[in-house]
């Protein structure tokens, strides 16, 4: 049977799993994706949004999910304040988070806010503190890493959206064409690129 590869735009507030056995269940992937036996490649926190790849292909899940293979993950990050160049340089070179130093990252201060749907609920707005958007590309995905990185250089994250996941030099998966809560099957071209990972 052919493997399944689904691109899902995870909304804010949704758990990156199909069940929640807590006393007050929260929204999960099951509320949006009615496909059996697929699981997410990597995770996004409940308060993060954006691209999730869901698949039943364990080899692809391994190659894309394990940081040793250095597949790039690009995030659009709204932060409190306008980062100085010294802070951007720190993010690019690596910052210390607890007992770990992050790998070098690609970091851009965006001139224009990304075209994204409004978040529900919206972020807290404060007239006295400006916000700005960064594009951050990592080759690793530790727990709450982007939030910890921006906080470490003095600019807390307000909104975090994973825009894309790189497969190889010529292919990436992205949220283009999707709105929060929507998913689609991978295109034949995307399936072909993913299939290469399986050898």
pLDDT above 80: residue 33: yes
CA distance 87 to 99: 20
pLDDT above 80: residue 169: no
CA distance 78 to 2: 39
**What residues act catalytically?**
45
Per-residue model confidence as pLDDT tens digits over 46-103: 999 999 999 999 999 998 988 888 899 999 999 999 999 999 999 999 999 888 899 9
pLDDT bucket at 198, cuts 50 / 70 / 90? low
First to last CA, the chain: 18
**Quick one: what percent of the chain has pLDDT higher than 70?**
99
Domain 5-197 adopts which CATH fold? Pseudouridine synthase (3.30.2350)
Which letter does DSSP use for residue 67 in this model?
A: G
Least confident stretch, 1-5, 48-52, 114-118? 1-5
CA distance 129 to 121: 19
CA distances, 189 to each of 4, 12, 26, 75, 170 (Å) = 14, 29, 35, 23, 11
The pTM for the full model equals: 0.94
């Amino acid at each position: 049977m052919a493997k399944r590869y689904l691109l899902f735009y995870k909304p804010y507030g949704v758990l990156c799993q199909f069940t929640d056995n807590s006393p007050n269940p929260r929204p999960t992937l099951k509320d949006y994706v009615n496909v059996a036996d697929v699981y997410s490649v990597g995770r996004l926190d409940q308060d993060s949004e954006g691209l999730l790849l869901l698949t039943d292909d364990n080899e692809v899940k391994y190659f894309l999910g394990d940081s040793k293979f250095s597949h790039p993950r690009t995030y659009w990050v709204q932060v409190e304040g306008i980062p100085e160049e010294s802070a951007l340089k720190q993010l690019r070179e690596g910052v210390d988070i607890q007992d770990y130093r992050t790998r070098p990252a690609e970091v851009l201060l965006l001139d224009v806010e990304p075209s994204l749907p409004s978040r529900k609920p919206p972020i807290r707005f404060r007239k006295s503190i400006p916000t700005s958007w960064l594009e951050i590309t990592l080759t690793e995905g530790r727990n709450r890493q982007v939030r910890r990185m921006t906080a470490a250089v003095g600019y807390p994250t307000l909104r975090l959206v994973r825009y894309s996941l790189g497969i190889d030099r010529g292919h990436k998966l992205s949220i283009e064409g999707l709105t929060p809560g929507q998913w689609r099957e991978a295109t034949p071209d995307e399936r072909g690129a993913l299939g290469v990972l399986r050898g």
